[in-house]
Amino acid sequence: MIVLLTAFLVSISAQKTYVLLAGVSNYGNEELNLYNTTKDVKQLKKVFDNQQATTAIVTSQYANHANIAKKLDAISRLAKSSDKIMFFFSGHGTPGGFVTSDRTLFNYQELVDILSKSKASQVLCFIDACMSGSAKTISANNFGHGDKAPYITFMTSSDGTETSAENLLIGHGYFTKALLKGLRGMCDRDSDKQITLIELFNYVYGDVTARSKGSENEQHPQLIGPASMHNMVLTKW
């Protein structure tokens, strides 16, 4: 019994969550610059630090295409089969991908290709950017297939045709604000002190659609990926 308990505790201690948070506020053009993306990243880092996750952030000029790809590749290689990987991006988006600080397109297919190399059993991407739901065009059938492929899911701030708004009054984009509230416990509908992916998405969807309803920037967040990921525990509070 003692041997089994020890083995169980070692197994639990070996489970890790790796989080990369990227935000671009300065695109080198006043008309393109954003106000809240760096704040988005820093606030989410606090949430995941409290969960003892291994977190890294890249902002401003450091959130360029090459650097994001390099760090994603490093995390993908580091994670073991029992681990989780989470990636968050806040910034501009366009059909097919998000825009890095050097104003290049980071294609969603490229993102999936990098993360699919990982041994991690669960991979989750949060994208707070315009047209982020266009990740669906890669086809959910590409996510999590194959004996060794991780289960990859996207939670996006809007569908593939919608813009995603940030709001100076709330200090974040609608999507990230809802994420922060949900991950801190507001979406825990069954009161078990654990936040699952489906609990978070249902909360985020309701919050974002309510806040954006009737505006020029109505948003409908999307959850793209295998249903087997829905009960993935993201945070505990």
Give the CATH number, domain containing residue 95.
3.40.50.1460
Q: What is the pLDDT of residue 147?
A: 54
Residue 6 lies in a domain: no
Residue 1 lies in a domain: no
Residue 4 lies in a domain: no
Query: Which domain, by its residues, includes 37?
Result: 16-236
Q: What is the pLDDT of residue 148?
A: 55
Mean pLDDT by 10 residues, the chain (237 residues): 44 78 94 92 96 96 97 97 96 97 96 92 95 84 56 94 87 92 95 96 98 92 92 93
Domains of the chain: total: 1
Q: What is the pLDDT of residue 3?
A: 45
Cα–Cα distance list, 106 to 4, 36, 129, 163, 223 (Å): 46, 20, 12, 17, 20
Q: What is the pLDDT of residue 14?
A: 64
Q: What is the pLDDT of residue 168?
A: 78
Residue 47 lies in a domain: yes
Write down the H helix ranges in the chain.
Answer: 2-14, 37-49, 65-78, 108-115, 174-181, 197-212
**How many helices and strands (H and E) does the chain possess?**
6, 13
Q: What is the pLDDT of residue 6?
A: 44
Residue 11 lies in a domain: no
Q: What is the pLDDT of residue 167?
A: 80
